[in-house]
Chain A
């Protein structure tokens, strides 16, 4: 009997027919249309959203740039935020979660048109929402800027997409539930309730007083923490051991990590309102939860580090597109989460609040961690779905370096400047005009770093589209080694 790896090589040399497809290849094939659809949509949104981010950044040091009503700073920055959050991150997470859940449940995707239908609804609604924002029809509630009429369509679309992960789980052919499945399943339940409550309490039947602000940041922080982050962590828990061919260092710790994550994250969002007119006990609860988040983060960091380092696998990490991006994301998950816990402390928050430090932190989490981890997932998933190798190793290297230098530069620039800004505001020695003038070199550096990331995103998007054209090299088999 042939060994599995030999069988894979044989599969590559044979034409793909139903008869010689392995189980994994059959599962992959069933998901091809749905996952590729979401991957392409996410890449397109990423490019447009990043360009709008650069436009917003340029306006901070050249206010006359693109001086039209639709691209004022207030609108272009909001467009950037919504496009990269709801366009890039959500579409990418739909793709990765559908793929991971079916792979781990060992079941094929049935009725793949349903999530695609949901995806069409999701993306068309986003297009409408973006035009509304550009036209000035926004709510003014951060993370919920799109007009409220988009909510029902986005909600139904999400259910059509997210439900398929739940259906795959319910049909699973395995007895054990892997830790990545826990994270994805929980995320698919957490987000609808967050979105429903936030919409109801802020936009449809507004709560009174500061309850709106509390709900706003409970939603805003948890949309990241209880939807985007869990799928990012699930992806890392799958791809790091999978690509290395070695189980996770301590599965016990991963279970502890999941349950402590589920317990503490929900409370942390209120640290956005420290010093605001909200009950002190609520602020204290937010601080405690933010600090307690050290437990799941530390547990995850230990696991990823020891899995990668225990057998001196750094050469494998560097030689694999998937791991290069994923491990970069894992390291920054640890760093950005620890920074988040520190920023929740009252003394630190008194300096960093209302400064560029917070914006640097947001990019640390959303780009250096999440986006890089999702890139890593796509580098593994797309060749297996399309049966095509990535057309160019050089483009992958270019993509990595542009994004890595851009994102780390951005975080460093914004953190240093944010701290300086906070000290300047608190000292009350300089006038606001002087503080703004002192920010100009930092704002310019911000544009440079943002541009590097954006060029990296364009490279990635072009590479994905190049891979999908029929001329790209076609390979066969359930796994794809570059030989």
Chain B
């Protein structure tokens, strides 16, 4: 007895969801590997200062209530 069309689609879509899951798992592993190999974890002290620049430097409070 052949399965109903919806069930066939459902089996197919389950396969797609598994594939999608593996792609996402692979992406997460790739991202973690990339961040290690590109030196993202090498100098965390320096990296924590990445938000500061010449216009908004470290040591200067950047926001106050308007008068």
Instruction: Using CB atoms and an 8 Å cutoff, list the residues of chain A in contact with chain B.
Output: 4-5, 7-8, 22-25, 104, 106, 174-178, 189, 193, 197, 200-201, 205, 207-208, 238, 241-248, 251-252, 254-255, 259, 262, 316, 319-323, 379-380, 389-393, 396, 478-483
Partner of A323 from B49, B60, B63 at Cβ < 8 Å: B63
Q: How far, in angstroms, from A265 to B64 measured CA to CA in the complex?
A: 35
Partner of A178 from B17, B50, B65 at Cβ < 8 Å: B50
Which residues of B lie under 8 Å from residue A7 when comparing CB positions? 54-55
* Interchain CB contact under 8 A, A242 and B32: no
Partner of B61 from A174, A245, A247 at Cβ < 8 Å: A245
Among B20, B41, B66, residue most surrounded by chain A Cβ atoms (within 10 Å): B66
Q: How far, in angstroms, from A207 to B9 measured CA to CA in the complex?
A: 10
* Interchain CB contact under 8 A, A479 and B56: yes
Main secondary structure on chain A at its contact with chain B? Answer: helix
Given contacts A24-B56, A197-B20, A205-B9, contact A389 B66 (CB under 8 A): yes
* Interchain CB contact under 8 A, B35 and A243: no
A105 to chain B, nearest CB (A): 11
Given contacts A245-B62, A380-B63, A479-B62, contact A24 B55 (CB under 8 A): yes
* Interchain CB contact under 8 A, A8 and B55: yes
* Interchain CB contact under 8 A, A178 and B66: no
Q: How far, in angstroms, from A481 to B45 measured CA to CA in the complex?
A: 27
List 16 interface pairs A-B (beta carbons < 8 Å), by A numbering.
A4-B56, A4-B60, A176-B50, A205-B6, A242-B51, A244-B61, A245-B52, A245-B58, A247-B58, A259-B32, A262-B28, A379-B63, A380-B62, A390-B66, A393-B65, A482-B65
Which residues of B lie under 8 Å from residue A254 when comparing CB positions? 48
Q: How far, in angstroms, from A208 to B14 measured CA to CA in the complex?
A: 12
* Interchain CB contact under 8 A, B40 and A205: no
Q: How far, in angstroms, from A177 to B10 measured CA to CA in the complex?
A: 40
Partner of A104 from B28, B40, B51 at Cβ < 8 Å: B51
* Interchain CB contact under 8 A, A177 and B49: no
